[in-house]
C-alpha cells in the first residue's frame, strides 16, 4: 500500500479484556516501531523491530504488553487484561534507513 | 536518558508571520533529528530529517537547523498560513541504548489565524 496502515482505527473494550492492534508497514521497510500517545502527553516508545526480531523492548509498560512481527511485514501489538490507563492512541511507524519514519494514523483505544 | 524539550508549548500567530519553534535535547550523541507535524486525530507526517553531520535542511517554507554540540534545533516557518496550524514535534534518534529509538518532545501547538 501507499502508507502504513493500522487497524482498527478505533477500539472500545471493557476493562480486563484482551485486545490486538495490527500494523501493516510500507512494503520493503525493514524497521517497524510502536509508540503510544496518551491525552496531552508526548509519544512514548514501546518497541522496535528490525525484520522479525525486536532488539529493543525497553518501552513495553508491563508484561501485559507483547508484540510480534511475522514475515518481516505485519506486526501485532497485544494488550492482555486491559486497564483504563492503557487508553491512548497507539501509533505504528516503519522505515528503511536512512529515510525518515512514516507513521500510520493510529488506533485509538478506549478502555471502559 | 535522553530528554527532549520543546518551547513554546503553544503559539498563535497571524497569517503571514515568520516564526521559530525551538527544540532542545540533553544527550548530543544522536544519529539524527527529525521534525514532524501532527494534525488532530491523525498520525505524524515527517517534515525534515537532519543527519548528525548536517547543520540544516530546507523544504519549501520550512528550514530546520541543528547545533548538536549545544543540543538545540530550530524549525523556521516562513510566511505562515492557516494550513500550517498543527502540532509540531521534534524527535532525536539516539546513538546509545537502542540506536533506532526516536525520543520525542511534547510538541508545539501552532495556530495561524486569518
Chain A residues with CB inside 8 Å of B51's CB?
98
pLDDT digits (tens, 9 = 90+) for B57-92: 999 999 999 999 999 999 999 999 999 999 999 999
**A17 has a pLDDT exceeding 90:** yes
Q: What is the mean pLDDT of residues A18-28?
A: 96
CB A103 within 8 A of CB A4: yes
> A7, A33, A39, A43: which to substitute to probe chain B, counting the most B Cβ within 10 Å?
A43
CA distance B109 to A103: 19
CA distance A28 to A7: 20
CA dihedral angle for residue B90, residue A32, residue A100, residue A105, rounded to 10 degrees? -70
Average pLDDT value for chain B: 92
Residues of B with CB under 8 A from a CB of A: 4, 32, 34, 36, 42-46, 49, 51, 89, 91, 97-98, 100-107
B32 preceded by cis ω (within 30°)? Answer: no
Percent of the residues in chain A that have a pLDDT greater than 90, as a whole number? 71
Q: Does A105 touch chain B (CB under 8 A)?
A: yes
**3-class secondary structure, B12:** strand
For A72, other C-beta atoms within 10 Å of its C-beta total 16
Which phi and psi angles does A16 have, rounded to 5°? Answer: 95, -15
CA distance B103 to B109: 18
Q: What is the mean pLDDT of residues B102-113?
A: 94
Q: What is the mean pLDDT of residues A2-27?
A: 96
Residue among A104, A111, A98, A39 nearest A75 (CA): A104
pLDDT digits (tens, 9 = 90+) for B29-39: 898 999 999 99
**A34 has a pLDDT exceeding 80:** yes
Tell me the residue ranges of DSSP E strands in chain B. Answer: 4-7, 10-14, 19-25, 30-38, 44-51, 56-59, 62-67, 72-77, 86-94, 102-104, 108-113
For residue A101, name the pLDDT band (cuts at 50, 70, 90).
confident
Got the DSSP string for A38-49? -TT--EEEEEEE
The grid coordinates listed for B17 are: 508571520
**A1 has a pLDDT exceeding 70:** no
Q: What is the pLDDT of residue A7?
A: 97
Check residues A22 and A50 and name the one with the higher pLDDT.
Answer: A22
pLDDT digits (tens, 9 = 90+) for B8-50: 999 999 999 999 999 999 999 898 999 999 998 888 999 999 9
For residue B96, name the pLDDT band (cuts at 50, 70, 90).
low
Q: What is the pLDDT of residue A39?
A: 80
For CA atoms A46, B52, B5, B18, give the dihedral sign.
negative
Amino acid at each position: 500500500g501507499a502508507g502504513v496502515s493500522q487497524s482498527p482505527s478505533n477500539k472500545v473494550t471493557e476493562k480486563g479484556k484482551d485486545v490486538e492492534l495490527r500494523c501493516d508497514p510500507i512494503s520493503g521497510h525493514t524497521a517497524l516501531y510502536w509508540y503510544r500517545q496518551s491525552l496531552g502527553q508526548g509519544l512514548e516508545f514501546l518497541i522496535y523491530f528490525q525484520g522479525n526480531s525486536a532488539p529493543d523492548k525497553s518501552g513495553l509498560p508491563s508484561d501485559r504488553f507483547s508484540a510480534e512481527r511475522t514475515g518481516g511485514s505485519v506486526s501485532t501489538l497485544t494488550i492482555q487484561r486491559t486497564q483504563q490507563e492503557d487508553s491512548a492512541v497507539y501509533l505504528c511507524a516503519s522505515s528503511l534507513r536512512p529515510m525518515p519514519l512514516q507513521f500510520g494514523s493510529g488506533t485509538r483505544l478506549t478502555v471502559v | 536518558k535522553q530528554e527532549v524539550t520543546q518551547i513554546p508549548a503553544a503559539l498563535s500567530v497571524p497569517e503571514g508571520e515568520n516564526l521559530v519553534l525551538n527544540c532542545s535535547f540533553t544527550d548530543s550523541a544522536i544519529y539524527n533529528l527529525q521534525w514532524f507535524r501532527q494534525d488532530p486525530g491523525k498520525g505524524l507526517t515527517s517534515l525534515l530529517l537532519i543527519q548528525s553531520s548536517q547543520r540544516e535542511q530546507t523544504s519549501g517554507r520550512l528550514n530546520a537547523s541543528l547545533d548538536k554540540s549545544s543540543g538545540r534545533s530550530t524549525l523556521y516557518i516562513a510566511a505562515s498560513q492557516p494550513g500550517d496550524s498543527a502540532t509540531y514535534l521534534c524527535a532525536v534518534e539516539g546513538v546509545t541504548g537502542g540506536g533506532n529509538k526516536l525520543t520525542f518532545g511534547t510538541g508545539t501547538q501552532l495556530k495561524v489565524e486569518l
